[in-house]
Chains A and B, each alone.
Chain A
Amino acid sequence: MEKLVVVGNGMAGTACVEQILKYAEKFDITIFGDETHVNYNRILLSAVLAGEKSSDEIVLNSLEWYQQNEIHLRLGVRITDVDTIARTVTGDDGSVTPYDKLLLATGSSPLIPPIDGVKKQGVYVFRNLDDTRALLDRARTGARAVVIGGGLLGLEAARGLQVQGCEVTVVHLMDTLMERQIDFVGGGYLKAKMECLGVQVLLSRNTTAITGDAHAEGVRFKDGTELPADFVVIAAGIRPNVELARKAGLKVNRGIVVNDFLETSHPDIYAVGECVEHKGICYGLVAPLLEQGKILAASLTGNRAQGYEGTVPAAKLKVMGVEVFSAGDFSDGTPGNDVVRFEDAALGTYKKLIVRDNRLAGVILIGETSDSHRYMDWLRSKTDLREKRRNLLFPDPIADAGLDVAELPHGKTVCGCHGVTKGTIVQAIRDRSLTTLAQLKECTRASTGCGSCTELCLHLLKAVAPQFQEEEKKALCKCIPLSEDQLREVVRSQRLRSVQQVLDIYGNGTGCAVCKPALSYMMDMVWCGRHDEDRSARFINDRVHANIQNDGTFSVVPRIRGGVTSPEELRRIADVAEKYKVRMVKITGSQRIDLLGVQKSDLPAIWADLGMPSGQAYTKGVRMVKTCVGTDFCRFGVQDAIATGVELERRFENLYTPHKLKMGVVGCPRNCAEATVKDIGLVGQEGSWQVVVGGAAGKKVRKGDLLITVESAEEALQAAALFFQYYRENANYLERTYDFVERLGIERVRRETIYAPLAVQQGLRQRLRKSKANSQDAWLEGDLPRHPAQFVQIQPLENVQ
């Protein structure tokens, strides 16, 4: 077997090896990597820095993958010499390894501009996982960070650090951001968006020195001004790693010079990735690297077909909330170039297409990038646009939805991050009867990287899967264009603690009566009650802790846990009803007592006189637990329904939920308290308890699904707690458990709660405990109002006759 040695364990080299393995086990492969990590998705380092992904989550090839494919992996070894006569490589560990074919995939290094003092402590680069970890160690709340470089990498680094709590300033040499990818006008939009997120941007600043003695204390500019900083990140670009190739005597310009088949100037030595220069161009983006790897793999294994023709450069900024996409050549000064442009400053949307000879030459999208795939297709396939001329910026409304997909060749890569082709996806959908995006992701890993191909994957599913199920990707409302899943993610990762912050940064700044209560819930849930509560974003019921009635009065329902009360309590309720001339006293369907027709200004006094906690009958929260008498009195009871029910109510009471949550506990399968049609029901039986979830007896009638059967009441309470918190964290606002369980399927609910890994279960429990610890009986606000005028009826300062 021929020996193939790969220098570089990054995305380009490993992707090429993956392709080689697809053809045949032709080689005995050794991969050297100077980092100590297995191959990971370098594009997602910014997501790691922003706390959106862990370093484990961006691994592309696990150790097992190398083992399974019998690849000798040598990590932490830097190749220092190539002997092209003896056909060996020498590592910095002294090892000498023979090769028959040598693949150089040495990648690139950060470009360090000529700045004095870059060796000082507190000066960082942002290129690999170790750099990212060092930055994460250094970043802390309030630390002042200066990022030198306003390109893709610099902006992603800046946003990541800002999310980590740093006060970040981006310093850029040019007069506009990302000048290599977007034009001046677009740069203005981008700058505004970054500043809106809280990242300062300084343009036209030539940094000449890092100030400070041993440790960085700031930066100095050419004009003599200085900017203080606790640490500095240099993200001014990359340069190909060519030293090894140069030493080996290969032809090198800016990068290692290769021909269309990725062959260097020396036979049997090949190169792919960022270290390569093809037709005068060095690529620093992922798609070209994968394409090169594929062509080289075919060629090496004797399947040589078409050579490499260069790649249309395309870039996407991965900053949540700042959508930027650019591809091709966007210079509009060239004669013969037509510019098609749309901009709306209020929306922050800017789109520009450059059309030359009726073909798309370049595109810039800011604020709205969902069409990026369409434009990429036009660019790659050099589509004649004469027919589409009227609908260049906005898709043809009557276009055949399947056409885009049908036009795409089978071998075309859909997911650049994982190199998944259309053919692979279509086959997976057919062979494994996939119907959802989640299944497709699990199966093929497509769209699990940067996510830019998600739309296309959905189109493929729609076109190929007979029973395609569109996942709930609906935006919360028109005020804020993100789905609730995405919102929860940005709230967490961007540490947003108030509704107004979310609306200001990701929405239209004002919100509405639909999204504000939803966001209020999300804040409370994500931060376990440690958020900045904004009562103006809540429905009136949650401002005054009572249920508004059709005449503007309120109803008051005290908590009567498990429906068990006492003569004293009943007497107090009766007294209150008389004292405040309550219009109606009604037993509710939930074993409680409702006092109806109460004035807002009477609420605090009524609560005080009742001396009972709030029953939360007015809110999307934990309502009550309905119980039967169980073993206490019933001659058929086999379990203690009352004690278990009261305890269940105690554990969850005072917490908000996506929609109202009603529970039931019964002491025998006769089910007298209808536990099987409650959101959570515990059904006692001889020697065990069934925990059922997702039951309904409202607008819809649904028998709950069995979550688990357990022996003791405590175990049943624990299982209920897992489901309860899981529902709180994952349901959409106003989604009842019965819709939620039906949407996810009980198998998935089980898998992610009671059968989840211990750490996941502990996480759910811990967050529930934290939320509970930060919650309180809402009626305590009667004595300690949030706002002095919360319950007060305002009287005019002057009496007008």
Chain B
Amino acid sequence: MTGIEKRWVRVTSCENIPLREGKAVEIVGRRIAIFNLGDSFLAVDNRCLHRGGPLSDGVVSGATVVCPLHAWAFNLTNGEVVNHPESQACLVTFPVRVEQGIIWVEIPSEEPGSVSEPVSCERDRPVRWVLRKPPASANVRPSLP
């Protein structure tokens, strides 16, 4: 992934993310979910690989988040899908550091490509290319209570 410039961005104060919860934030057109795991903060792309659900609204247990829409679960440290082995894709993860109570996230300084971008899994998987879903369109039928 050489060639893509990255920079650290000051995002928000630690107190804004409740313990074992996530919060969504938008930086350079990227929707990012930041989670408070108690002993660390982790950041991933905020769109579930399944149907684009807001992962920041998911239930966090350990270092796993479960999408509120259809319960796809992701490992927040490496972006891997936990409960759908058929899925080859991986969430983008972003490095996070905390300085004097402020959360910093490192992101590529360019806007994300609209169609695809390289997604890397740590561990031993090769770099994969993931087709991004378009944002949910307005004519999707809402579900009933």
Using a CB–CB distance below 8 Å, which chain A residues touch chain B? 479, 509-513, 516-517, 534-540, 543, 547-552, 555, 557, 583-584, 588-590, 594, 596-597, 617-618, 623, 787-789, 792-798, 800
Contacts and interface: CB of A to CB of B under 8 A. Distances in A.
Contacts of B24: 793-794
Given A536-B19, A618-B145, A800-B28, A550 B57 contact: no
B121 interface: no
Contact of A794 (B11, B51, B64, B107): B11
A798 B18 contact: no
B142 A539 contact: no
Given A794-B11, A797-B10, A551 B140 contact: yes
A513 B82 CA distance: 13
B142 A550 contact: yes
Contacts of B52: 551-552
B9 interface: yes
Nearest to B20: A536
Given A549-B142, A789-B17, A794-B25, A800 B7 contact: yes
B71 interface: yes
Q: Top 10 A-B pairs ranked by shortest CB distance?
A: A536-B20, A510-B62, A617-B145, A551-B136, A513-B66, A540-B57, A513-B59, A552-B54, A797-B10, A596-B142
Nearest to A594: B145
B15 interface: yes
A547 B144 CA distance: 9
B141 to A, nearest CB: 8
A535 B18 contact: yes
Interface string B56-75: 01111110101011010100
Contacts of B53: 550, 552
Contacts of B57: 540, 543, 548, 552
Nearest to A551: B136
Nearest to A787: B18
B109 interface: yes
B102 interface: yes
A800 B9 contact: yes
A549 B52 CA distance: 12
A798 B25 CA distance: 12
B115 interface: no
B143 A797 contact: no
Contacts of A597: 142
Nearest to B71: A513
A601 to B, nearest CB: 10
A538 to B, nearest CB: 8
A441 B76 CA distance: 48
A582 to B, nearest CB: 11
A623 B69 CA distance: 21
A796 B9 CA distance: 8
B23 interface: yes
B12 interface: yes
Nearest to B21: A536
A547 B145 contact: yes
Nearest to A517: B59
A535 B60 CA distance: 11
A588 B144 contact: yes
A47 B17 CA distance: 42
B1 interface: no
B4 interface: no
Nearest to B37: A510
Contacts of B54: 548, 552
Contacts of A618: 145
23 contacts: A510-B62, A511-B61, A512-B61, A513-B61, A517-B59, A534-B20, A535-B21, A536-B21, A543-B21, A549-B143, A550-B69, A550-B142, A555-B142, A583-B138, A584-B142, A618-B145, A787-B18, A789-B18, A794-B25, A796-B26, A798-B10, A800-B9, A800-B107
A749 B54 CA distance: 42
Given A510-B61, A550-B51, 7 more contacts: A510-B64, A536-B19, A539-B59, A551-B142, A796-B12, A797-B12, A800-B9
A550 B136 contact: yes
Given A516-B59, A797-B10, A536 B145 contact: no
A796 B102 CA distance: 11
Contacts of A517: 59
Interface in B1-53: 7, 9-12, 15-21, 23-28, 51-53
A736 to B, nearest CB: 15
Contacts of B10: 796-798
A512 B142 contact: no
Contact of B136 (A536, A552, A557, A794): A552
B53 to A, nearest CB: 6
A405 B141 CA distance: 57
Majority secondary structure of chain A interface residues (helix, strand, loop or mixed): loop
A529 to B, nearest CB: 21
A236 to B, nearest CB: 42
Contact of B143 (A511, A550, A788): A550
Nearest to A552: B54
A509 B20 CA distance: 13
Contacts of B102: 797
Contacts of B12: 794-797
A213 B93 CA distance: 65
A798 B11 CA distance: 7
B16 A792 contact: yes
Contacts of A479: 61
Nearest to A597: B142
A589 B144 contact: yes
A548 B68 contact: yes
A536 B58 CA distance: 9
B140 A536 contact: no
Contact of A550 (B16, B18, B140, B145): B140
Interface in B89-145: 102, 107, 109, 136, 138, 140, 142-145
A539 B18 CA distance: 14
A797 B11 contact: yes
Contacts of A537: 20, 59
A789 B56 CA distance: 13
A114 B11 CA distance: 66
A120 B51 CA distance: 71
Nearest to A624: B145
Nearest to B7: A800
Nearest to B102: A797
A538 B62 CA distance: 15
A633 B10 CA distance: 64
A584 B59 CA distance: 28
A796 B59 contact: no
A479 B66 CA distance: 15
A479, A557, A794 — which one has the most chain B CB atoms within 10 A of its CB?
A794
A800 B21 CA distance: 25
Nearest to A549: B142
A471 B10 CA distance: 55
A289 B76 CA distance: 57
A623 B142 CA distance: 19
A539 B68 contact: yes
A596 B144 CA distance: 9
Given A513-B66, A550-B143, A551-B140, A788 B71 contact: no
A617 B145 CA distance: 6
A516, A540, A584, A792 — which one has the most chain B CB atoms within 10 A of its CB?
A540
B62 A795 contact: no
B111 to A, nearest CB: 10
A589 B20 CA distance: 35
B19 A800 contact: no
Given A794-B23, A800-B28, A536 B18 contact: yes
Nearest to A512: B61
A513, A537, A617 — which one has the most chain B CB atoms within 10 A of its CB?
A513
Nearest to A511: B61
Nearest to B135: A551
A517 to B, nearest CB: 7
Contacts of A792: 16
Contacts of A788: 15-16
Contacts of A535: 18, 21
